[in-house]
């Protein structure tokens, strides 16, 4: 799962591997870049979502985090809601069919992330003398090789791109309307070019400022890439 904050900070990737026996050297090698779940499968469920929340985001004591993600079934289950409450994490669930418009990861950085993985795979194919099965078929890359591609592809995504994507989706923009031009749906060639005028015509007065408290709010975006989470030969 890809997770990043509105300020451009990139969290470690949560990666599912389709094997149950951990390789400790691999865990150690990628400890600062990936959280690897040796789940024996490559699809998310409630238990893996709980692990993701605990290991990637963690409990919030002095801060509040707003997690924006899609309506995938394990994101909105009772079990997940209970875990979110325990960790003091708020959520905003994007309705089905809308992620390409208002979710930063789908709108912006998911495609280049997958594109970089494809580039590394194509480069690997071009080196020649690759391992094959007894039947002569090409073996997939090892888990170490594939995870290296995943880690490097995430590293290649610029924090500036992430910051801009949150504003393009209307999430971290100034509340006075001064940054509404950055919202991609409202652009002349966007899906809702009249949106800016409609939003400004219905603008409400902001709530009175509340006394400052001992927490801040951080906005996060997360997306599940189940087709990309692991496809190595050892998965």
d(CA 21, CA 229): 17
pLDDT in tens, 73-131: 999 999 999 999 999 999 999 999 999 999 999 999 999 999 999 999 999 999 877 88
Q: Supply 233's token pair.
A: 């030969």
The pLDDT value given to residue 38: 96
The least confident of 49-63, 119-133, 140-154, 216-230 is 216-230
Global pTM?
0.84
Rounded CA-CA distance 199/195 in Å is: 6
How confident is the prediction for the chain on average, in pLDDT? 87
CA distances from 44 to 154, 215, 223, 227 (A): 20, 31, 11, 11
Residue-wise pLDDT for 161-208, tens only, equals 999 999 999 999 998 888 989 999 988 888 888 887 887 777 656 556
């Amino acid at each position: 799962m890809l997770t990043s904050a509105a300020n451009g900070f990139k969290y470690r990737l949560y990666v599912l591997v389709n094997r149950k026996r951990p390789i400790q050297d691999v865990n150690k090698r990628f400890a600062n870049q990936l959280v690897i779940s040796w789940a024996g499968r490559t699809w998310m469920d409630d238990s893996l979502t709980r692990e993701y929340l605990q290991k990637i985001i963690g409990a919030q004591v002095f801060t509040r985090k707003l997690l924006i993600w899609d309506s995938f079934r394990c994101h909105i289950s009772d079990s997940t809601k209970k875990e979110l409450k325990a960790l003091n994490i708020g959520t905003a669930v994007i309705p089905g069919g809308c992620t390409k418009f208002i979710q930063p990861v789908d709108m912006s950085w998911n495609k280049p992330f997958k594109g970089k993985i494809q580039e590394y795979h194509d480069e690997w194919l071009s080196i020649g003398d690759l391992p094959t099965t007894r039947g002569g078929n090409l073996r997939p890359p090892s888990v170490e090789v594939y995870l290296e591609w995943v880690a490097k592809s995430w590293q290649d995504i610029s924090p500036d791109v992430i910051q801009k994507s949150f504003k393009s989706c209307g999430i971290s923009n100034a509340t006075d309307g001064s940054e509404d031009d950055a919202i991609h749906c409202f652009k002349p060639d966007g899906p809702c070019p009249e949106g800016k005028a409609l939003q400004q015509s219905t603008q409400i007065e902001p709530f009175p400022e509340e006394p400052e408290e001992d927490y801040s709010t951080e906005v996060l975006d997360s997306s599940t890439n189940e087709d990309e989470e692991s496809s190595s030969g050892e998965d």
